[in-house]
A and B are shown apart, each in its own frame.
Chain A
Amino acid sequence: NAGVTQTPKFRILKIGQSMTLQCTQDMNHNYMYWYRQDPGMGLKLIYYSVGAGITDKGEVPNGYNVSRSTTEDFPLRLELAAPSQTSVYFCASSARASGGTWVSSTDTQYFGPGTRLTVL
């Protein structure tokens, strides 16, 4: 199993450009998440999905969009990139919902290696 994979690893965007961050998991997990990690700020949830066709906003969704057409893929779209979106983006997946009644390690979120995005 490759686990959670993300592409690209690095990207530099100009203000106003758009791009899609790709995320794929091969663990057949229903739940997938997008976080951004800024220095000193911890992980902030952008969007999450509880299954194919179902997505919902997290804590910091503005400026981003997601889709979930398959169980495996959960791309994150940035429209009109802004310097405030400079960050490291992590995709994660879990077999069960994280944050609810935690039953076992199946609730564990598995993270991808991240995408470092700079907007200039």
Chain B
Amino acid sequence: QKEVEQDPGPLSVPEGAIVSLNCTYSNSAFQYFMWYRQYSRKGPELLMYTYSSGNKEDGRFTAQVDKSSKYISLFIRDSQPSDSATYLCAAAGFQKLVFGTGTRLLVSP
């Protein structure tokens, strides 16, 4: 079993839709959770990070962690074509950082 699982997609939505991207993890030692965005043929860039359970909002993006169910989510409101990218979740703790495989998101105009 992978420590961080993520649906590879692609997830196709029309412009303006609310997008929900999700990951699950198996290691209870993970305390910190991140979302990276990776445009085609580019390196990943950190979008958001959260500690333990709860929500964090940054503009159109909301990261949510539910440690009881080991579930990580990223919500994108009013999605734009420029949001089309691969989104990687990551979990960290006890000197370990593990990335999910990434979900490809396509936002059509």
Name A residues whose Cβ lies closer than 8 Å to a Cβ of B: 4, 40-43, 45, 90, 92, 97-100, 102, 105, 108-114
* 9 nearest CB pairs, A to B: A111-B43, A99-B97, A102-B32, A42-B101, A43-B99, A42-B99, A99-B96, A98-B97, A99-B95
Residues A113 and B42 in contact in the complex (CB < 8 Å), given A42-B99, A42-B101: yes
- Complex Cα–Cα for A46 and B6 (A): 21
Chain B residues near A114 (CB, 8 Å)? 41-43
Interface residues of B in 28-78 (CB under 8 A from A): 31-32, 41-46, 49, 51
Chain A residues near B92 (CB, 8 Å)? 98-100, 102
- Complex Cα–Cα for A4 and B42 (A): 12
Q: Is the interface of B mostly helix, strand, loop or mixed?
A: strand
Name B residues whose Cβ lies closer than 8 Å to a Cβ of A: 4, 6, 8, 31-32, 41-46, 49, 51, 88, 92-97, 99-102
A105 and chain B: residue at smallest CB distance: B49
Can you identify 5 A-B contacts, CB atoms within 8 angstroms?
Answer: A4-B43, A40-B8, A98-B97, A108-B49, A112-B43
Chain A proximity of B52: nearest CB distance (Å):
10
Chain A proximity of B28: nearest CB distance (Å):
15
